[in-house]
Amino acid sequence: MGAIETDYLVIGAGAAGMAFTDALIAASDAGVVMVDRRHGPGGHWHDAYPFVRLHGPSALYGVNSRRLGSDVIDQDGPNAGYYPRATAAEICAYYQRVLDEQLLPSGQVRFFGMSDYSAARDGHQFTSRLTGETTTIRVRKRVVDARYLEPSIPATHIPPFGIEPGARVIPVNDLVGLSSPPSGFTVLGSGKTAIDACLWLLGAGVPPEAIRWVRPRDPWLLDRAFQQPLQLLPRLIEGVSLYLEAAAQAEDRTDLFRRLEACGQLIRLDPGAEPTTFRCATVSQDELVSLRSIENVIRLGRVTRIGPDQIKLAAGSIPAGRGEVHVDCSAAGLRTKPARPVFSAGLITLQQIRACQPVFSAALTGYTEATRGDDARKNLICPANQYPDAAVDWIPLTCAAQRAEITWVTDPDVSAWMQRSRLNATCGMGDHRGDPLMDSALARLFTNIEPAISKLETLMAGIGGANAVR
């Protein structure tokens, strides 16, 4: 059995572990050991379905010290007018370059792939999946849990319903492996994976009538137009100012969601169906039009069993149709695990801090660890914010995220770091001074942020589930 020592042991080299490590070593001379059971860095992207892309712009993804992609706005195609969104292959290649060309040559980072971490009786260890050799690790400073929010993805999840012999059910990854046209497609799931599957089928020429969409719960969605950084930042700030205004003026929860929809900050798939979930999924208006062309939507709750002739759901059953392919898109994606303090004795648990921006959150955590002394201050700068699930979770999520923004603005060092951080969606605000859209958005934002926080605190009363650690 081998033994090594390090300042930090980072368990998981996915997006979170990589962004944290990059930011930590940029601001300190700490030594880091990264352990991952996968062969290389990049986490879940190694098992992603082939047509997946980032849901947000590449300009805001990866690590702080290296650009991902070109940061040139797409001029044509389905993403025209927006910053490019990398494919899974591009993301995995990017992380490998970050590791090979930056982290390892820094002399501060050692990477052990194909290795399972486990807690040892009196410390930590990892075991190679190739040799079986176990190495113990003495950690001088902290263990960093970069797998707490490891998403549940289609390739590795087990369908939560029974499948009878003769039923044709495939994970979304296998859509590209079809060798002959099925009689139709039934897409199972309400989330971003199901949205991606429907858009891919439509984009590949499958007529909307050939798609049946089993959508147990309708989601609130974000509009991609308001998620763009750099040159398009004024629109993003306009979006923030509009949802803060909606929050400040809301009379109750129903009125809040009515206002958020009216100002374009939440959108629904079906004008006739009230959304009940919110999981940060993003679409463009063009994609929305395509998705609405699928009219055969089944709302009978979750699928419980698929047979050759019948699909059983929580609230009824429908014919399965022989020759139909059922596309399982029911993996949960983002994990809604309970928020816990990011910094605790000997441990850092990477979590979402700014709403729907896990990678920026991990980088901020790395910088804060490197530059601040006590855990109370660190947790104030990095308050954990649970991923949302139910629609009402928008309220505590936004409230905690806005409180954190105020903490950052009043800390000159954090503010300065944020203005250097490419992962920070609001980086480069100063470049837009004098832009009328930016100026009016900022005026609306400053007027509404404090009233919005206090109204959201009122509206939060009685909400279970997602809740920020305070």
Q: Which of residues 2-21 bind ligand FAD (CB under 6 A)?
A: 11-17
- In the complex with ligand FAD, the residue whose CB is nearer, 60 or 297, is 60
Q: CA 444, CA 26: separation in Å to the nearest integer?
A: 35
Give the β-pairing of 267-268 and 219-223.
antiparallel
SS3 364: helix
Q: Are 205 and 352 in contact (CB under 8 A)?
A: no
Could you identify the residue written with the tokens 């650009």? 67
> Using CA atoms, how far apart are residues 106 and 460, in angstroms rounded to an integer?
46
Neighbouring residues of 247: CB distance < 8 A, sequence distance ≥ 6:
256, 398, 448, 452, 455, 456, 459
Which letter does DSSP use for residue 103 in this model?
I
| Interaction mask 357-386, ligand FAD, x per CB under 6 A | xxx---------------------------
Q: How far is the CB of 340 from ligand FAD (least distance, A)?
A: 15
Which range of residues in 31-39, 66-74, 263-271, 385-393 is near ligand FAD by CB under 6 A? 31-39
32, 44, 173, 391: which one binds ligand FAD (CB under 6 A): 44
Nearest to 214 by CA among 156, 266, 169, 279: 169
Helices 233-249 and 394-409: angle between axes, nearest 10 degrees: 120
Q: Does 103 bind ligand FAD (CB under 6 A)?
A: no
For ligand FAD (CB under 6 A), the number of binding residues is 30
Structure tokens at 178: 């079809």
Bridge partner list, 319: 310
Could you say whether residue 54 binds ligand FAD (CB under 6 A)? yes
Choices 168-176, 336-344, 353-361, 373-381 (CB under 6 A): range interacting with ligand FAD: 353-361
Beta strands 115-120 and 324-328 are unpaired
Q: Which of residues 207-266 bind ligand FAD (CB under 6 A)?
A: none
* Per-residue binding letters, 148-177, with ligand FAD (x by CB under 6 A): -xxx-x------------------------
Report, in Å, the least distance between residue 346 CB and ligand FAD: 17
Among 229, 333, 383, 388, binds ligand FAD (CB under 6 A): 333
Q: Which is nearer to ligand FAD, 17 or 366 (CB)?
A: 17
Residue 35 touching ligand FAD (CB under 6 A): yes
For ligand FAD, which stretch binds (CB under 6 A), given 33-41, 66-74, 367-375, 408-416?
A: 33-41
Taking CB under 6 A as the criterion, the residue among 6, 24, 30, 55 binding ligand FAD is: 55
CA angle 186/329/275 to nearest 5° reads: 90
Which CB atom, from 134 or from 304, has the smaller least distance to ligand FAD? 134
Find the DSSP H helices in 191-330.
192-203, 233-249, 253-262, 285-292
Instruction: Output the smallest distance, CB 92 to ligand FAD, in A.
Output: 11
Tokens 């309220």 correspond to 395
Half-sphere exposure of residue 222: CA atoms within 13 angstroms, side-chain side: 20
Which of these segments, 144-152, 176-184, 379-387, 409-417, binds ligand FAD (CB under 6 A)?
144-152
List of residues contacting ligand FAD (CB under 6 A): 11-17, 35-38, 43-44, 52, 54-56, 61, 116-117, 146-147, 149-151, 153, 333, 357-359
